[in-house]
């Protein structure tokens, strides 16, 4: 049985919040065992907890905010556009990313693919 749309929405919102302001453990708690991450698409997929921990550990110390812009849910899949802003003192690095995720029956992430490139990163003065 597929998870409810509300459960998927909650996982997506928790994911964005955890990536922006949480810990690596917060993010990994949203993933099912054996989940895969391809971020960005075209890079080697990360397929182990060690690889996921290493990947998310890089962003944990950053001062960031995240905002969900659009979310589409179909069965046990979601595609969403979100904005991640990294605060770097006098300037911010703003990036809009499309993530596509699949979920298990408990609304845990089983796969994630992130669609973005260096061209999607914009530096703006901090407000």
Residue 6 near residue 13 (C-beta atoms within 8 A): no
To 5 degrees, how large is the angle CA 38–CA 77–CA 23? 55
Beta strands 91-103 and 109-115: pairing type? Answer: antiparallel
Separation of alpha carbons 71 and 82, rounded Å: 9
- Tell me if residue 115 is catalytic: no
Q: Which residue in the list 31, 39, 56, 99 is annotated as catalytic?
A: 39
Specify the DSSP class assigned to residue 1: -
Beta strands 109-115 and 31-38: pairing type? Answer: parallel
Q: Which residue in the list 15, 31, 56, 99 is annotated as catalytic?
A: 15
Task: Give the residues across from 122 on adjacent strands.
Answer: 94
- Tell me if residue 120 is catalytic: no
Please identify every residue annotated as catalytic: 15, 39
């Amino acid at each position: 049985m597929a998870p409810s749309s509300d459960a998927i929405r909650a996982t997506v919102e928790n994911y964005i919040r955890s990536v922006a302001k949480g810990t690596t453990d917060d993010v990994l708690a949203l993933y099912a065992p054996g989940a895969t991450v391809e971020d960005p698409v075209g890079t080697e997929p990360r397929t182990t907890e060690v690889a996921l921990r290493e990947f998310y550990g890089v962003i944990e110390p950053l001062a960031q905010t995240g905002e969900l812009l659009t979310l589409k849910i179909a069965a046990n899949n979601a595609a969403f556009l979100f904005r991640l802003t990294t605060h770097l003192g006098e300037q911010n690095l703003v990036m809009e990313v499309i993530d596509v995720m699949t979920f298990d029956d408990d609304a845990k992430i089983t796969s994630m693919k992130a669609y973005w490139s260096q061209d999607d990163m914009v530096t703006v003065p901090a407000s």
